[in-house]
Structure 1
């Protein structure tokens, strides 16, 4: 499992070997094939998340390997999506059965794991909290990210007029290609004046915010009377008293999807199943993904911290899983095994698994030499 280090830097991230225990009542153990990476994880790794962020990782796709007592509706070997799986950046994770759904066969593991946090955050905000309706003017920040892209699709499908911000020029063009006419930069505060000009000074009915600092102030500055401000950011957010002092007619809804998952899993699963139906019918598109091998988690965290991606970042161990299952098949104690690339993270994992399955004679080779483990 990927763990934070004591210095709270990305250099400090490390995989720790944990003892797997049998799942308890109402729990499912999953062999992880892909895990979604979220900005929450970056803040968590850097020690900048307000409050207790818990373990790294939130959403996972994999195969069921064990079931707790009284768990129904699943079998060992089933391909599933775990909507909330703290600690899922690793080989296995144990999660609540209530937050596990079957993975659609048409979606790859990387496509499927990109959906839970992004689609559910956007839907919960716009529909459940914001009550979005046709004709609403909606400002969506960071629209080229996973949640932003999901929100753009949902808002357009609801008949809303979308105003969006994104970072680099190519990200802004990507958002335009999704059908958004009004796209502005998320790197400057100029968006506020643009929104006022585009709306004739009326402002927007809804803001979906993930930015911080002066961006929050300027976003409230373009919110129309009676508007809804949906806050999914974690840094420097306002409290209710400060909002009321600005305009008592505003509806302010900060929220955290992880807390919702713990408090009301039934509602969350029902939402997600409806959203999967929309994806299957082609009314919602899967999100673009940038895939890193899970062994390269540190590089993936850095890539996200630099905001270089469009859509979602996914950590995959599908290739690793296939190699591990091959390595564990028919292992003999009297045979000799050569592991090429065996001095890297994946090679050492394969070698360890061979030893666990009974191998006694191994040679590990790599670009820097070879060794024969004692």
Structure 2
């Protein structure tokens, strides 16, 4: 018992950190915490806030009722698809297709580049379609992505015309059925492949125009012989392919002279697999169909695709597909079912129940989700010691979390090319970065720092990472060493605490980076440990006063920061046991 606090004696102890508690949030999305482990799906708090939501020009907010799974989602979840930028946040946004209601209560369906397996989503209105009155929202969720993909591949890229012969692989899949509908309506001769007798029977029942002579096996290359026999050796004008490896090679050989090969699968493209050049002697063309490209394409391309799908809906070509529906609590089971390849049509996740009325302003759907930290792009964030190794990492993390106004305090300013490089990266995200040379060991310097940040925007968070080491065994320590070490730690935190109470009335976070030298002690770091302890006591006082205050005791950090910089030789730094 060596700590006297609030009239009681006690001691400080390290306790295990409890598991994260889920909270009810307006915007939640599905995230896979460990890629390749389907049991690690979790609902995670999203970054959309109804109080501060700012839509981009041409964007619409949609409340999601049903989200549809597709093979891009499966490949992302099973670690077979390379990650995008969000890997830095350990966020793997899943879902590109949905149905729901807009803010006026109109029923809509649409596609986004990612993040549709969620409660709400911001969507470009050129990728949004009204739901016909005779469809349910469950019907609508089976439509937009598969028909957009099929129209984009067959008409916009493949230039399909009446009388063409078309081979459509995986005919019972979502894109397969959409493509068959489109081709039959356009007056094309259709051949398709399936993997089981059940799926063959489904095709013949769903499309009476197709007989066994039009249906091949997708599990081997025997479809090549079928195609060449039925076309008298000519081949087909278009192949819509989702098969891989030797089945892809066989599909290429099925092309007629001047045929067009439309590759919608990603396996061979990601694997950089090769094809023989001899086939191009027939004047054929090979197209990698990436619907992702449309999202960053011209407005004219987006509008063309939107109009083609809308015309298909009006003409009755676009029809809802068979589907299997899972509740939002069984996302793992939905993915496992889809990976078996047994499904016919689409696999949907239901987020909420559809109302009876056609037009209903949706009540917010609160979802239990794990909380996440996000920054407000309209506020400013102060990092004392922001140009050190640890500070640069924190600044980058804040930018990825949404911060767009940073004030980095540093004694020496920008001195290295790496610091300049990172600031260019952050500014490419639209962030404003100010370097403050104010002396935070003085009250006037901290006042200048906070004034600088307030001129930029209201301060949302303050982080103190600054430090100076004056290590020596106790008998060799001097008063000057203690004073120098106290400056960026104890004194700066004291000034930040006092002045932020006056100058930052809406402060959401006050965070100091402490050290295990305070909690456990390291030889030669008595002064450093003491000053970290002062910071922790300041945070305790802030919490007692109802203000934000958090101290994090870090162990040795080997990748970046002072320890990594001062070591001239190769080093290995181990972790710290609890």
**TM-score class, shorter:** 0.7 to 0.9
1:298 has 2:326 as partner: no
Quick one: which of 181, 190, 194 aligns to 2:226?
194
* Distance in 2 between residues matched to 1:273 and 1:107, nearest whole Å: 19
Question: 1:57-92 CA distances to partner (integer Å, 9 max, x unpaired)?
Answer: 001222224xxxxxxxxxx32322222252111211
- Cα distance in structure 1, aligned partners of 2:143 and 2:94: 18
1:55 aligns with 2:89: no
Q: Which of 42, 61, 73 is 1:41 aligned to?
A: 73
Per the alignment, residue 107 of structure 1 pairs with 135
Q: 1:250 aligns with which of 271, 284, 307?
A: 284
Any conservation in 2 of the 1:167–1:186 contact (CA below 8 Å)? yes
Counterpart of 1:78? 106
Q: CA deviation at 1:242?
A: 4.0
Count of residue pairs brought into register by the alignment: 321
**2:309 is matched with which residue?**
275
Structure 1 residues 85 and 60: CA distance shift in structure 2, 3 A: farther
1:64 equivalenced with 2:102 (yes/no): yes
- Tell me what 2:210 maps to: 180
Whole-Å Cα distance in 2 between the matches of residues 320 and 149 of structure 1? 25
Shift of 1:222: 1.4
- TM-score w.r.t. length of structure 1: 0.78
- Indicate if the aligned counterparts of 2:165 and 2:190 stay in contact, CA closer than 8 A: yes
User: Corresponding residue for 1:72?
Assistant: none
* In structure 1, C-alpha distance between the alignment counterparts of 2:344 and 2:117, rounded to whole Å: 21
Residues 204 and 105 (structure 1), Cα distance of their counterparts in 2 relative to 1, 3 Å cut = same
3-state DSSP of counterpart to 1:28: strand
CA distance in 1, matches of 2:299, 2:72: 20
- Contact 1:32/1:62, CA 8 A, preserved across alignment: yes
Shift of 1:184: 1.3
> Which residue does 1:31 correspond to in 2?
63
- Structure 2 residue runs without a partner (length 5+): 1-28, 86-91, 372-578
Indicate the SS of the match to 1:47: coil
* Higher RCO structure (Cα 8 Å, ≥6 apart): 1
TM-superposed deviation, 1:20: 2.5
Structure-to-structure mapping, 1:118-157, within 5 angstroms: 118-157=146-185
- Could you tell me how far 1:126 is from its partner in structure 2? 1.0
Aligned counterparts, 1:325-364, within 5 A: 349=368
Q: SS state of the match for residue 95, structure 1?
A: strand
Report the Cα offset of residue 321 of structure 1. Answer: 9.2
Counterpart among 252, 272, 287 of residue 220 in structure 1: 252
Q: Would the alpha carbon gap of residues 18 and 83 (structure 1) be closer, same or farther in structure 2, given more than 3 Å must change? A: closer
Within the candidate set 308, 315, 329, 2:349 is matched to: 315
CA pair 167-225 structure 1, distance change in 2 beyond 3 A: same
Structure 2 counterpart SS, 1:205: strand
TM-score by length of 2: 0.51
Mark the CA change 1:113 to 1:31 in structure 2 (over 3 Å): closer, same or farther.
Answer: same
The residue number in structure 1 matching 2:144 is: 116
Q: Distance in 1 between matches of 2:113 and 2:136?
A: 19
SS for the counterpart of 1:229 is strand
What do the CA deviations read for 1:313-351 (whole angstroms, capped 9, x no partner)? 1111223999xx9xx89xxxxxxxxxxxxxxxx99849x
Larger Rg: 2
2:534 maps to which residue?
Answer: none
2:187 maps to what in 1?
159
Tell me by how many angstroms 1:280 deviates: 4.2
